[in-house]
Chain A
Amino acid sequence: MELILNTIVAGILLGGFYTLISLGLSIAFGLINISNIAHPTFVLAGGYFAYTLYTALGIDPIISGVISIPLFFIIGVFLYRVYNVLIEKRGHEKGLISLVFLFSLLILIEVGLLMIFGADWRSVYTPYMVQSVKVGMLSIPLRMFIPFVIASIVDIFFYYLFSKTFFGLGVRAIAQNPSAAMLMGYNPLKINMLAFGISLASAALGGSLLIMIQPIYPFSDRAFIGRVFAVVVLGGMGSLYGTIVASIILGLVEAVVAVFLGASWSMLISFAILLLTLLLKPEGLFRR
């Protein structure tokens, strides 16, 4: 009973973290139509950013996460502009070229990290990471709880941003009908640039929390590609609720499998979820 309860809590905490690294992709993939397979690589880059600040200046990963937000936001804005000029304006966004472009971006970042940081596993240490809070039978490790809390704050912020503000409504309007949105006074290029910036900023924040949860090495992102896309597809592309629900489902199933079958099989879960969703309900659980 105690084990089951602890597993469930661990699953929910893990799922909370997954919302943070999937929400950005859900926006990029579902709303501005960029199949950003390099998204987990940006998460990893955020992790290495936090690692660099930690080793060089001793800055806590949470603070470096906050620092990385504006930095990666600017990178995202710039990157969308490049993508727009090179891919979308030439009419390549549907085919092979856009995916290969993003894939080569993924390779370049991975190999760049490999050349800078080497192939070793990197991690950070802060005193609170090894502590855990005991509530009755439950034991909640802080290194999982803090990412969960931050992810929840980001979720609420995203909910507010995408359902209440002029900008958020604009992103969704452009996803539905760009020309009608332009008539309403939106500039699709500007809005999408900002949205992609937000997408990458959330990835980088996720990365600095990832390095609290587990050590990373330059190819750690591979393990997350299946996960984030499973979450986004299961949740329905561009749906905030869907992404959160799907993340929690994935986190729960992974935690249960890790406890009862062994942690090394947890990677299979996201793959199975991805294939089953595509087979049974390709449009996902929720609509955007």
Chain B
Amino acid sequence: MQSVKMLVGTKEAITLVMLFVILGIIFPIFCPERYVINFAFYVLLYTSLALAWNVLGGYVGYINFGSCCFFGVGAYLAAFLIENGISDIWMHIIAGSLCSGLLGLFLGAITLRVRGIYFAISTLALSVVMQMIIINTPQLGGALGMFLVKPHAPAPYPNFTAYLFSWLFGVTLILVIITIYIERSHIGKQLIAMRDDEVAAECIGIPTLKLKLLAAFISCAFMGAVGGVYPYYIAYLEPYTTFSLEFTINPIAMSIIGGTQSWLGPIVGGIVLSSFQQYLCTTISSTLSLLLTGIIIMGIVIFVPDGIIVWLRKRGIPWKRHY
């Protein structure tokens, strides 16, 4: 076990704390306009989903086509808790992450032993099944959805979205720290070995299945945690938008755009693509933004399969390598 200091230096730790204080607390409190904070929340939501997706998709190479499902489970669990009088956000986050994480672990335990394609198909099928279960459960609002009343924001915050932004920023920061830890510790090296050649990795004693399950748990749990913040933000939770294509395709697109090999990739991709999409949604239409996302993914796959960061690095722009 390496010491924590070796994995995250003092300078970086100070940077992270400063980042949290400035962007996560001071920014939402003093944010002048409601639109700005909504925009920032939207970007952060997708960026954190992309980061979570990348833990399994990028590091291990098993593609999750059901991000919306794990996200939706967290969101619906939070909504269920709100309906039953539990309105603490930390409870929603923990409940959502545990529930989605266990769901991912269950699905992973069955499908991660065989070829990667089965995990992809199972998650794709699970998102349809989960949507159908929600539609057929009247206690969770069924097809009509649930209205959730936003409570008043606690003291220094101007509105509730700003308060949620702080929570989501905290969750994202924890996820960033975990992914940095994964990349720099022995786990990251084992994952790289596994991605290069799974049989060879197994032969030198890397517990491949355990690592895959760990990655699946972390990935799905954080999707659930992000989902736990969602119901109060959206205030009206219904199955068709919660399990919509956007939540499945955007995390994949963002990770692929930025590059799947390091934690920086999903963040860069997330910020770039979600700002672009938000711009398109407000100026043109959401269908067109979906179409453009599809075209962008295909373009990236064809022309820069390693993502922007690696592409820039090959052209001499000095991104620091972290692994």
Contacts and interface: CB of A to CB of B under 8 A. Distances in A.
B125 to A, nearest CB: 3
B44 interface: no
Contacts of B294: 104, 107-108, 111
A226 B125 contact: yes
Contacts of A270: 125
A112 B121 contact: no
A107 B122 contact: no
Interface string A102-113: 011101101110
A138 B290 CA distance: 47
Nearest to A82: B302
Contact of B293 (A90, A107, A115, A226): A107
Given A92-B305, A107-B245, A279-B110, A99 B117 contact: yes
Nearest to A225: B124
Contact of A105 (B121, B128, B252, B298): B298
A282 to B, nearest CB: 5
A112 B126 CA distance: 24
A35 B117 contact: yes
A267 interface: yes
A112 B58 CA distance: 28
B120 interface: yes
A108 B61 CA distance: 23
A233 B118 contact: yes
Nearest to B126: A271
A257 interface: no
A275 interface: yes
Interface in A233-285: 233, 264-265, 267-268, 270-271, 274-275, 278-279, 282
Contacts, number: 113
Given A111-B290, A275-B122, A226 B128 contact: yes
A222 B128 contact: yes
B129 interface: yes
Interface residues of A, number: 40
Nearest to A227: B125
Nearest to B58: A96
Contact of B291 (A115, A264, A274): A115
B125 A225 contact: yes
Contact of B132 (A105, A225, A264): A264
A282 B291 contact: no
A271 B111 contact: no
A86 B302 contact: yes
B287 interface: yes
A270 B113 CA distance: 20
Contacts of A226: 121, 124-125, 128-129
Contacts of A104: 294-295, 297-298, 301
A226 B66 CA distance: 12
B214 to A, nearest CB: 19
Interface in A196-248: 219, 222-223, 225-226, 229-230, 233
A169 B129 CA distance: 38
A37 B113 CA distance: 20
Given A101-B301, A226-B129, A108 B118 contact: no
Interface in B81-136: 107, 110-111, 113-114, 116-118, 120-122, 124-126, 128-129, 132-133, 135-136
Interface in B252-283: 252, 256, 260
Contact of A225 (B128, B136, B288): B128
A29 to B, nearest CB: 8
A229 to B, nearest CB: 5
A101 B290 CA distance: 15
B230 interface: no
Given A107-B294, A111-B291, A278-B114, A96 B61 contact: yes
A225 to B, nearest CB: 5
Contact of A274 (B125, B135, B298, B305): B125
B57 interface: yes
A267 B130 CA distance: 10
B37 interface: no
A104 B293 CA distance: 9
A182 B32 CA distance: 69
Nearest to B243: A222
B61 A95 contact: yes
A107 B249 contact: yes
A230 B118 CA distance: 10
Interface of A: 35, 37, 86, 90, 92, 95-97, 99-101, 103-105, 107-108, 110-112, 114-115, 219, 222-223, 225-226, 229-230, 233, 264-265, 267-268, 270-271, 274-275, 278-279, 282
Given A103-B297, A230-B125, A268-B129, 8 more contacts: A95-B61, A99-B116, A99-B120, A225-B121, A271-B126, A274-B118, A275-B122, A278-B114
10 contacts: A95-B116, A96-B260, A99-B120, A103-B65, A104-B298, A112-B291, A226-B124, A226-B129, A229-B121, A275-B107
Q: Which 7 A-B pairs give the minimum distances between C-beta atoms?
A: A226-B125, A107-B294, A104-B297, A35-B117, A108-B294, A104-B298, A111-B291
